[in-house]
A and B are shown apart, each in its own frame.
Chain A
């Protein structure tokens, strides 16, 4: 009964989505006010029905209804309750339902927080989102219904993949999907702007906070995925350039470019068609990621159960959504105009360069990800593309991008002076150079790649200091603190996110340069030394978990002969699936992680034990968190909290956050629009 209710709600949601995707858009084109007014209530109705559908699925999972195919395949009565709930989105079908549920959540948010937008605009934006929703709900109902029955019912479920039975995995997919789906808002705004031909600073201002929020979710989602891979897979790595990881990283890179491009469009009216293209691309790449994971065209550790009919459906959907929006782009974008002019040396040009670098990097990662498929399609053999390619391409592209990241915030809009920038930043450069050269010595061994990575990181940090100092000198009277308080949140948010990048680079550089790894045979009582720590193995004993049995090793960590803690890595075997899982033990520290995983048992209670010492590895995820906080800070900026009236907004004159450009230039160029 409950699953049928869910199925029925899904069908009703489809009907509402159809309404949402057609009438408001037509209404906006014809000026039919009642059809325009339909957008908001329909969106909210669709949300209610999808919430019911999702609730029904979660109910079936939590209550072990094994007469539902999806539940029987992905859950088990022994599974702890929180994982039974999380199993709702652990399968292909369930994760799709989560996807559309989130899409409707974002749509409701747009319908609520858009009171200051013109109604036709809202109707078009929500209409576009409705059409996307139609595609996904139809996909579910036609090929992957999460409520399909299994009759007669299974006696017991075949269990959730043990890899997914982890708190990190419970929140990683929702975060990631919030990011993917969030880009649909930027996409819908871009399409609405193309349809209406209204592409001005106001459009950029509206879509900017939405894009930033989506970017924040995506950042956190990717971070959680990477962290999960680190502590759950037991290989000690944090990024594998796996096709599915790349599928999440591609929209992130393009989304990052979009966030910056929107800033230029809002403040200077430039880059309009470029921004629109990025908004289309970011969401298209999210959809492409969905296709890659679910169609089976690429091999990946993440792949869902695949089925050719699903692949054909999603490909068709991709062609309709992306193809039509790119066609619309080709048709409308040439009429947009160029916007404010700028010099070769200006903040615009640097942001544009950075944008291009990010997009080229995304293109290279996309090429590497699809290369095996391309080679195979052309019958040129089966190959796989691994980390060496991605690292060889990615690092050289990101190096100038990070250099510009330090330069950009100090450059003036429209026209900057190169000698002035050099003067202002020479100390930042010298300090970062000196630190980069000396720091590796503190770590024990000088390595050129470490020095190089640190140079980039300290360059970013040093330029942040220079920028803030310069800003304070130019912000009137008062003590340092009042002047600090005078700066807008969006100003700090930029630096916080950039600082996050620096922290991230430090983490990556140091862990790559100095990590040590040993695979050792450990008898009971034997020890191994690493990174100034002694690991003593005192044996392994059986333990029983709720749905698994395990061997748990006891490894004492000693520093200077003193015991600091006991680490207990496990080797689990899950009852229902019989799958073996390595559960490493990690001692997290500010400047290092100790990481111990059990390998295979040997005779006489001895084990193969894998021990890692990973300096600064947590800085990688901490850096990502700082970036995400930066994004949140930006969205909480004063100008978004103020009620802005609906009248067309002039580009720069109404700006509340104070110039990133000095006020004189701003006034001189204010109001100039394309």
Chain B
């Protein structure tokens, strides 16, 4: 009987490995979900002399999308964001992360601008407050300024339809 123990242990191990194959270890849940979104006041990308404060968005549901012109995956999600902004379901605010304004503007000119407003974060300070560890990332923020969801990596049709849009509908209630 005891000679079967190694085999039994191995079977348990295989079980975990098989389940593990379907998991995505890189997706780390944000500890900020359910907490008030860090407040920022930052120059707008298009009008650098004007400051946008995130407090101005209290009372509405909005998306904060972290993007940069140097980010390849941002290009992947961009058409979806443009489409979403055209539908007018939810305002998308951009956080232009560790980027150069001229490159960022050129990029928006080329691929379209889905953002109600983009603010600049050249040194990534706001990014630190939000716990950004990769670009793109998208936050769903409710009427009370609480983060309700964080999407790591590009927004996809699947994540939009299954998670983000239903959540926005619920929050807008």
Instruction: List A residues at the B interface (Cβ < 8 Å).
Output: 273, 277, 280-281, 284, 291, 295-299, 308, 311-312, 315, 318-319, 322-323, 326-327, 329-330, 333-334, 370, 372-374, 376-377, 382
B17 at the interface (CB under 8 A from A): yes
- Interface flags, B1-30, vs A, CB<8A=1, else 0: 001101100110110111111110111110
With both chains docked as a complex, state the minimum distance between the C-beta of A321 and any C-beta of chain B, in angstroms. Answer: 11
Contact among A291, A322, A334 for B10, CB-based, below 8 A:
A322
A326 in contact with B10 (CB, 8 Å): yes
User: What are the residues of chain A within 8 A of B25 when measuring CB–CB?
Assistant: 296-299, 372-373, 376, 382
Q: How far is the CB of A358 from chain B (nearest CB, A)?
A: 16
B contacts, CB < 8 Å to A = 3-4, 6-7, 10-11, 13-14, 16-23, 25-29
B-side contacts of A308, CB under 8 Å = 21-22
Interface of B is mostly: helix
- Known A297-B20, A297-B25; judge A329-B6 contact (CB<8 A): yes
- On chain A, the residues within 8 Å of B6 by CB distance are 277, 280-281, 326, 329-330
State whether B3 touches A334 (Cβ < 8 A). yes
Could you tell me if A273 and B3 are in contact, using CB atoms closer than 8 angstroms?
Answer: yes
CB <8 Å contact, B3 and A333: yes
CB distance from B93 to the nearest CB of A (A): 28
15 examples of A-B residue contacts, CB within 8 angstroms: A280-B6, A297-B17, A297-B20, A297-B25, A299-B25, A308-B21, A311-B21, A323-B7, A330-B4, A330-B6, A330-B7, A370-B13, A373-B16, A373-B23, A373-B25
- Residues B14 and A377 in contact, CB atoms below 8 Å apart: no
B150 CB to closest chain A CB, in angstroms?
13
Kindly report which residue of chain B lies nearest to residue A280, judged by CB atoms.
B6
The secondary structure that dominates the A interface is helix
Question: Which residues on B sit within 8 Å (CB–CB) of A374?
Answer: 16
- Chain A residues within an 8 Å CB radius of B23: 297, 373, 376-377
**How distant is the Cα of A329 from the Cα of B3 in the complex, in angstroms?**
7
Q: Which residue of B lies closest to A578 (CB)?
A: B70
C-alpha gap A382/B30 in the complex (Å): 11
**Residues from chain B with Cβ under 8 Å of A295 in the complex:** 17, 20-21
Assuming the contacts A326-B6, A329-B3, asked whether A299 and B17 have C-beta atoms less than 8 A apart, the reply is: no
Say yes or no: B16 contacts A318, CB within 8 Å.
Answer: no
Given contacts A372-B25, A376-B23, contact A326 B7 (CB under 8 A): yes
Nearest Cβ distance between residue A328 and chain B, in whole angstroms? 10
> Is the pair B18, A299 in contact by a Cβ cutoff of 8 Å?
no
- A330 in contact with B21 given A370-B16, A382-B29 (CB within 8 Å): no
Cα distance A281–B11 in the bound complex, in angstroms: 14
Q: How far apart are the CA atoms of A330 and B4 in the complex, in Å? A: 5
Residue of B nearest to A331 (CB): B3
Is B3 in contact with A297, judged by CB distance below 8 angstroms? no
What distance in Å separates the Cβ of A379 from its nearest Cβ neighbour in chain B? 10
User: Given contacts A296-B21, A370-B16, could you give 19 more A-B pairs where the C-beta distance is less than 8 Å?
Assistant: A281-B6, A295-B17, A297-B17, A297-B21, A311-B21, A315-B14, A323-B7, A323-B10, A326-B6, A329-B7, A330-B3, A330-B6, A334-B3, A370-B13, A373-B16, A373-B17, A376-B23, A382-B27, A382-B28
- Picked from A315, A322, A370, A382, the residue with its CB within 8 Å of the CB of B18 is A315
Assembled-state Cα–Cα distance A299/B41 (Å): 35
Residues of A with C-beta under 8 A to B16: 370, 373-374, 377
Complex Cα spacing A298 to B6, Å: 23
Of B6, B19, B29, most A-chain CB atoms within 10 Å = B6
Query: Considering the chains assembled together, what is the distance between the CA atoms of A376 and B17 in angstroms?
Result: 11
* The residue from A296, A319, A372, A376 contacting B14, defined by CB atoms under 8 A apart: A319
Task: Please name the residue on chain B nearest to A300 by beta carbon.
Answer: B25
Determine the distance from Cα of A398 to Cα of B11 in the docked complex, in whole angstroms.
Answer: 28
* Complex Cα spacing A311 to B22, Å: 10
Nearest chain B CB to A224 CB, angstrom units:
27
Q: How far is the CA of A281 from the CA of B25 in the complex (A)?
A: 26
- Whether A299 touches B26, Cβ cut-off 8 Å, given contacts A312-B21, A315-B17, is yes
Among A273, A277, A297, A311, the most chain B Cβ lie within 10 Å of the Cβ of: A297
A284 shortest CB reach to chain B, Å: 8
| Minimum CB–CB distance for A665 against chain B, Å | 31
Smallest Cβ-Cβ distance to A377: which chain B residue: B19
Q: How far is the CA of A312 from the CA of B28 in the complex (A)?
A: 23
CA distance in complex: A377, B16 (Å): 7
Q: Which residue, of B10, B13, B26, B29, has the highest number of chain A Cβ atoms within 10 A?
A: B10
Contact flag A377-B20 (CB < 8 Å), given A323-B10, A330-B3: yes
Task: Note all chain A residues with C-beta closer than 8 A to B10.
Answer: 284, 322-323, 326
